[in-house]
Amino acid sequence: MWAIAAADYGAELELVELPEPVARPGELLVRLFAASVNPFDRKVVNGMLRGSAPHVFPLVPGTDGAGEVTGSGERIFGTFFHHPVGTGTYAEYVTVPAENALAPLPEDLDPAVAAALPTAGMTALQLVESLGAAESVLIVGANGGVGSFAVQIARAAGKRVIPVGRGDSLVEADALIDLASTDRPSFEANARYAPLAFNTNYLSSDPAQNFGMKGSREMLARLASMVQAGDLEVPIARRVPLRGAAGVFAGGGPGKTVIVM
Ligand SMILES: NC(=O)c1ccc[n+]([C@@H]2O[C@H](COP(=O)([O-])OP(=O)(O)OC[C@H]3O[C@@H](n4cnc5c(N)ncnc54)[C@H](OP(=O)(O)O)[C@@H]3O)[C@@H](O)[C@H]2O)c1
């Protein structure tokens, strides 16, 4: 099968031909239709999980995808993360533990749209639910993958959303969702603007401020329903064919990048 992979930690991604994976007991073999790109994928290639989990090389990144279970033909989407690290969704086929956060892929949902939902959508949903009764929320990094969903979900929940992009000033609010800070001083400076504050990069000495997404089939199904009902717009900025996807980490910009197989 064709895949996009890195030969070593920190190496450039390249198109490679690899053996089709074989499902072990308790796993599904999935033929992917689409995979989405998350910042976590780049962090993994750069060695974030080095020493804490087994890796295989060439390392195929990617946790999110939509596809069809071989044999049964069941269409699913969700998070495909599992060990060893390096057997991810930037590939034509992937194996996934059956107990992962996976949900049925509705017939009328574009697989590329479904593939863009899992990590960013579930993170946004869970973050907004963590805000409780807060009436106003600052969202730093509002144009990104998580931010684009969080802005919509928070507004739908009746909150006053103050989106913050690069260079924008912060103002006081009831709550802060910081998706952009990469160091503790930056998050602590932002957290002064709101009594309830969360970051997604484990930057705080207060564990309650360090948000970690916990995926579920139920959340995926809710996100799919919201998209189908027209209540959630999925911000796909780029659709890239697998064979041309070696450059997906370059660029950036708003919204989500999706690799189409
Ligand atoms: N802990 C968890 O469970 C969890 C789950 C999901 C994501 N995450 C993490 O959360 C972060 C955000 O994820 P994502 O998918 O939304 O990433 P993303 O799509 O790259 O979005 C990040 C956004 O932040 C903006 N930004 C960067 N620096 C900024 C600054 N100084 N001020 C204002 N905005 C700034 C970026 O704008 P530009 O385009 O201008 O750079 C971009 O719009 C990543 O670090 C990711 O790894 C953690």
pLDDT in tens, 212-223: 999 999 999 999
**Can you tell me whether residue 45 is helix, strand or coil?**
helix
Residue 176 clears pLDDT 90, i.e. is over it = yes
CA distance 84 to 59: 10
Confidence of residue 254 (pLDDT cuts 50, 70, 90): confident
Residue 253 clears pLDDT 80, i.e. is over it = no
Confidence of residue 82 (pLDDT cuts 50, 70, 90): confident
Whether the CB of 163 sits within 6 Å of ligand 1: no
* 145-164 confidence digits (pLDDT tens): 999 999 999 999 999 999 99
Q: 2-117+234-260 belongs to which homologous superfamily? A: Medium-chain alcohol dehydrogenases, catalytic domain (3.90.180.10)
* 232-249 confidence digits (pLDDT tens): 999 999 999 999 999 999
In the block, which residue shows the tokens 């913050």? 164
Residue of 127, 129, 176, 179 best suited for mutating to test ligand 1, as the one with most atoms within 8 Å of CB? 179
User: Tokens representing 109?
Assistant: 């949902």
120-209: what fold?
A: Rossmann fold (3.40.50)
Whether the CB of 111 sits within 6 Å of ligand 1: no
CA distance 250 to 222: 31
User: For position 83, what pLDDT does the model report?
Assistant: 85
Residue 28 clears pLDDT 80, i.e. is over it = yes
CB-based contact 65:115 (threshold 8 Å): yes
Residue 253, judged by CB atoms within 10 A of its CB (0-12, 13-18, 19+), counts as exposed
Confidence of residue 79 (pLDDT cuts 50, 70, 90): very high
For the chain, the structural domain boundaries read 2-117+234-260, 120-209
- Would you give the end-to-end CA distance of the chain in angstroms? 11
Q: What percent of the chain has pLDDT over 90?
A: 95
| Mean per-residue pLDDT, 181-185 | 97
* 31-75 confidence digits (pLDDT tens): 999 999 999 999 999 999 999 999 999 999 999 999 999 999 999
Whether the CB of 73 sits within 6 Å of ligand 1: no
User: For position 101, what pLDDT does the model report?
Assistant: 87
Q: What CA–CA distances, in Å, run from 261 to 51, 59, 67, 185, 194? A: 31, 18, 10, 41, 43
CA distance 7 to 105: 32
CA distance 38 to 27: 23
Residue 186 clears pLDDT 90, i.e. is over it = yes
CA distance 59 to 68: 23
Amino acid identity at 256: K
CA distance 223 to 216: 11
Q: What percent of the chain has pLDDT over 70?
A: 99
CA distance 153 to 226: 10
Atom of ligand 1 nearest to the CA of 148: 16
